[in-house]
Amino acid sequence: MAEIIVSEFLNNNEKRIALKFEYNVEVIAMIKTTEGSVWSRSHKFWHIPYSSNVIRVLSERFKGKLKFIYQVNKTQTETVELPQNYIDTLKLNNYSEATIKTYRLHFLRFLRYCPGINIDNIKHEQIRQYLLYLVEEKHYSTSAQNQAINSIKFYYEKVLGKPVEKYYVPRPRKEKTLPKILSETEVINILKSIDNITIKCMTFFIYSTGLTPSEVVYLKMSDIDSKNMKVFISSRKGDKDRYVLLSEKLLKLLREYYKIEKPKQWLFENGYGEQFSRRTFQKKFQEAVQKSGVKKVATLTILRNSFSVHLLEKGIDVRFVQEMLGHKSAKTTMKYLKVSNRDLKTIKSPLDSLDF
């Protein structure tokens, strides 16, 4: 009778049951008949959904064929915590709150993948196996893979100060996808569907200036320069501060908004005088999209894409758009040209402007 070691483990925060046994074709065939059974290539064992009475259920089902032995895995019951110096170093390097949150999430997932192992002694191959697990079992996007890699690299490079080659992992090939955009009519329909003046102002900011949702919620009253019709955008790192143009329609709406809400510290605040939540902003925008009847996928990021493309279609120089968006490289901004409707018909030859 084949013996199978049964233990609990966490799979991306989901409790599962690991089944470990010596390679046996007949045993594998029986395990495959169990609902929810999955082979983990990275862990090298089969696992099934967790249940408190798993031993009894399995024993009854495979009575006389398989013997199940429960193994207590102490490391799985222990709480995995981030090294305090990880968060401290992120703050000392002046990373934004959003980046700290992302790094924290991904690095915790990595630690949970390596329970019971001293994180400072993790080998290069174990990191590669983890990344392979993210691709093959979790089906992470290229962006999510890069975030995971960055969170791990930060620990070894910035916290431990290890040389790059000690933890180097290959980057996934970047997916070549074109940015999604909305037509001007679709933007109008969405804007008309917003009743809340705070959400309307915040949405106007994104479409009229190309700001990100994070930049919008961090705006302060002092950032608005109505005299010179521009808005100061702080990068919160001090290395990419910039100015964007202030739309006349947006200024008019802001004045109406100020009379009603009278914000104190932040330009956009909740009912308690605290900074407006980016998540709430996104949620309210989605409600407006549903109300507008626009059938396309429409997010705040797509609205920002639309701002860029619509400017380019009106003949605005790509370098100006680059400055508005805060892009370091013009190559990042050039992707919007690929989805714009500009073509050779819109370009006038300099010869035609000569009077002779």
Distance CA 342, CA 193 (A): 29
The mean pLDDT value for 89-99 works out to 85
Instruction: List phi, psi (to 5°) of 194.
Output: -95, 120
Mean of pLDDT values over 300-326: 81
What is the model's pLDDT at position 76? 44
Is 84-166 a CATH 3.40.50.180 domain? no
Whole-structure pTM over 0.85, yes or no?
A: no
The rounded distance, in Å, linking the Cα atoms of 311 and 336 is 10
pLDDT at site 120: 77
Candidate from 107-111, 162-166, 262-266, 294-298 with smallest mean pLDDT:
162-166
- Looking at the predicted structure, is the pLDDT value of residue 78 above 70? no
Q: Is 321 or 168 the better-scoring residue by pLDDT?
A: 321
Is residue 345's pLDDT more than 60?
no
- What is the mean pLDDT of the segment spanning 215-225? 91
**Least confident segment among 154-163, 181-190, 222-231:** 154-163
Would you give the distance in Å from CA 141 to the centre of its chain?
Answer: 10
- Distance CA(127)–CA(145), nearest Å, equals 12
List, for residues 279-289, the tens digit of each pLDDT value: 899 999 999 99
What is the arithmetic mean of pLDDT over 321-341? Answer: 70
Q: What is the mean pLDDT of residues 176-204?
A: 89
Q: Where are the domains of the chain?
A: 2-77, 84-166, 184-341
**pLDDT value for 109:** 87
* CATH superfamily of the domain spanning 184-341: Intergrase catalytic core (1.10.443.10)
Q: Which residue has the higher pLDDT, 18 or 273?
A: 18
